[in-house]
Structure 1
Amino acid sequence: MTTAQSLGQEPVQPQRCFVIGPIGDPHAAPGSSEQEEHEHHLAVFEQVIVPACEKHGITAVRADGIAHAGDINEQICRHVVESDLVIADVSGGNPNVMYELGLRHITGKPTIHIGEAGQLPFDIASIRTIRYRRMRSDLAAARREIESALEVGLRDGFELLTPARVLRGLQTGDGTAPHANEEDDDAPGLLDDFAVIEDGLDEMTADMEAITKTIETIGALTEQSNTEMLDLTQANAPASARLAAVARYAETISSPAGELNTVAGAFAERMVTLDSGVRAALGVIEMTPPEERGEEAEEFLEQLMSLDETAQGGLAQIGSFGMSAGDLARLSRHLRKPVKEISAAVRHLTAAIKRMGEWAAKARLLAGGGTV
Structure 2
Amino acid sequence: MSVRPLLALTLLSATPVFADTHDAGLSYGPRPAWLIGQMDDGELKTKLQSCLGQTPSRTDFSIGHRGAPLMFPEHTVESNVAAAGMGAGILECDVTFTQDHELVCRHAQNDLATTTDILLTDLADTCVTPFSPASGDTEASAECRTSEITLDQFRTLTPKMDSSDANATTPEDYQGGVAPYRTTTYADGAHLLTHAESIELFRDMEAKFTPELKSASVDMPHDGFTQEDYAQKLVDEYKAADVPASDVWLQSFDLSDIRYWIENEPEFGAQAVYLDDRYEAFDDDEGEIDPMDASTFKPTMQELADMGVNYIAPPLWMLVTSKDGEIVPSVYAEEAKAAGLNMIAWSLERSGPLSDGGGWYYQSIEDVTDNDGVTYELVDALAQDVGVAGIFSDWPATVTFYANCMGL
Do Structure 1 and Structure 2 share a fold, with TM-score over 0.5?
A: no
Choose between structure 1 and 2: higher strand proportion: 2
Choose between structure 1 and 2: higher helix proportion: 1
- What TM-score, normalized by structure 1, do the two folds share? 0.25
Query: Bigger radius of gyration, 1 or 2?
Result: 1
- What TM-score, normalized by structure 2, do the two folds share? 0.24
